[in-house]
Structure 1
Amino acid sequence: MKKTKMSADSGKAGILSFVHAADLHLDSPFTEISGIDPELGERLAKATFQSYEAIIELCIEEKVDFLLIAGDVYDSADKSLYAQVRFIEGLRKLEIAGIQVFICHGNHDPLEGWSASLTWPENVHIMSGDRAEVVKFKKDRENAAVIVGMSYPTRHIMKNLVKNFPKKEGNWPFTIGLLHCSVGSNPEHDPYAPCTLQDLRELNYDYWALGHIHTPSIVCKEAPIVIYPGNPQGRHFSENGARGCFVVDVSLGRDSSGRDISTRFIETDSVRWYIREISIEGLEKEGELIESLQSQLDEMRENSVGRSVICRFVLKGRGPLHHILRQEGFIEDLLRLLREGETWGRQFIWVERIEDDTLFPIEREILLKREDFVGDLVKIVEGLKTDENSRNEFHEVLSPLFGSRNGRKHISKIDDDEMNSLLQRAENILLDALLTEKDNEN
């Protein structure tokens, strides 16, 4: 097992300090939005690089000892030349500041991917892909940390790489595991390099710097501390809310073993994604809805602290505005009104979409008691939503659609929550067509 040494004589006295980042996904295309508005797409193309620059500036401002990057520096194995050059430029800034960098590669940027012939700064250590490397880090000529890490040699790693990591030895100081992996189960991400929290605990490390899960999360708050910093820049609505990295400070004892550990999440995103649900209940007129939406935009602008925002509004609830929202062209006009006057300056707010999930303003319980076609319709939908046998029969009817060759290309299987939502929307459309104002009064 290869052991190397890296050292630094800067940083905070008596403190081991480092930044833990992951999943930079430099040069991510943001295809969903760029296809709608070219100028917005151009701004978003810079967002991942701006978040990376923010991480570099943070390392320098905090005077950390080193930066850890836990995989997926790039968005694909065949990373662009532009992304590689920009990445190395940031690393050189850290070299000038005397800050070391430790990198492990993940499923999006495995070692087998193409790389340009560029000169790497001497402060950078890239973890091997055929074994777990042990790197000893010295601070002020004293052993301060051990970083144990491993890169993906190929993209699809389905075995438990933690099994390749050595246990912490008795003379090791503060020990960090650096890996791109899946701890436990997460349906939003492929289970690359799967392991359990118990696997991590058995090695007796002090901190696990992980990557792969894009939502910031502290998996374990006690020894060992296990953290996913998430990606530093959200790229779509599934990655909404604050994005960033972690600053970790460790007080060092006389023998350089870690004592107190503090972690701070620092926001680094330049563009933030929001999904806001707005209820139409209690709103009687169009102007009231516009005021409510504008108020939400003002709040987002104020709370984003200079960041740009891309938001989606989802209208919910029952009310008289439901009829107006159903009018042809109304939502398009409303969207155009909210976008009007927005420019692609340093800070912008872009309303990507307005979804109408509002309901017909009537008492559904009354309709269930009706002995006519409308009553039968509501009873059928209610049965499909609540009766397991009816639901199973309905799935059997739909199964040829999902099983056909053409069907598989365009649609995927629907879970119960999505099915209930679709049934409710179908019921709303039919009730809008069938019921009159007189029915509503009754």
Structure 2
Amino acid sequence: MTKHPVDEGLPAGRLTLLGLQHMSIMYAGSVAVPLIVGSALKLDPATIGLLVNADLLVAGIATLIQAVGIGKVLGIRLPVVAGATFSVVNPMILIASQYGLPAVYGAMLASGVFGLLIAKPFAKMIRFFPPLVSGTLLLVIGVSLVGPGAAMIAGHDSSAPDYAAPSHIALAFGVIALVVFFTRVLRGFANQVGPLLALVIGLVVAVPMGLVHGDGIGDAGWFGLASPFHFGAPTFPIAAVLSMCVVMLVTFTESTADLIAVGEITGRPPTDADLARGLATDGVSAVLGGVMNSFPDTAFAQNVGLVQMTGVRSRWVAAVTGGVLVLMGLVPKIGAFIAAIPEPVIGGVAVVMFAMVAAVGVQNLRKVEFSGNHNTFVVAVALGVGLLPAFVPDFFKHFPTWLQTIGGSPITVTAFLAFSLNLLFNHLGQRREPDLLKAP
């Protein structure tokens, strides 16, 4: 019996390069979470370094579980790469400011257990994520992530002297041009590693530009990992726990769209049982994060875009990525070497990957019947309102913390609207009538 391409093994050299490519695409996004949180809480550089190591270790474990699976309990067994979710940043900072870091990790532990308990019931709602909902959500995920991609290229501080430097933008556009060139010209395996080749060439070009700083490589140790509960015994303030449970629901919503997308791209659409195992892995990552001073993980959208772009469907590629991330988490010197790649180089590839996620959303929407119903209206409302916090990040800043947690994420707002509007117009008292927005 012929193996499905998802289960197919590849030669060791090819697996390694493809796994490294996935790692290079997700690295900057994943370590951004501990860097942002650590900086906001004014932690010293050594402690931030421990957070980064723990983040990579837990992301690697979660990726391995997703790709390989553990019995009938954990792992969706698809080429899924996990990384720290940005949804956790603001709640962590707010909880730490009010209750301290032990409360952050206690709440994270509790949210992980909550995630494990609700993974199966949540997964049974997959029938309410038809292409109308998943396509709209993926479109918003891709579009909203282009902003962080642009920040990698231009810089994060608009007051910095080198913000939006023409040389940085030219470097990123050069990397994008290389991705386009390799995709058009190369064939076979060389085509599949085109983004990685573009990254390497971009790194080489960045050296004489003075953008590659390798000082951290020499300073980094060969082994480093924070002990469990590094910040003290966990505490469980009710408000903090509820806030983190909301984050878990947000994470599940984002992961659901990404897992469905990977399933469709690879030709193995997930069942509700598959989805439950994938979501339960997110819960496990939060439990591990609470113990190891890390962060909850979600399926990374940019890696979904990479699967779509390269056509490489083997889950063992993602397993290699997970192994590399674990190694990086245990050996800081390796992580420091990868961190030396300038953000404009990574950003050039990242914006293409993010846009590929949006393109997958458009492909999903092509499967939707827009005639004789209100589906156009559903997409319009979910898209328009959902993108508000993407374009105005402080849109909900004067609202309660719990509402900021939900409303501050374009993904969450879009998911809620697309899901509820689909129920309202297509399930509750469904009726067919002329599409109000159909062109005459």
**Is the pair's TM-score, using the shorter chain for normalization, greater than 0.5?**
no
Flag the structure with higher strand content: 1
Flag the structure with higher helix content: 2
Larger Rg: 1 or 2? 1
Query: Which has the bigger relative contact order, CA under 8 A and spacing at least 6?
Result: 2
- TM score, norm. by length of structure 2: 0.23
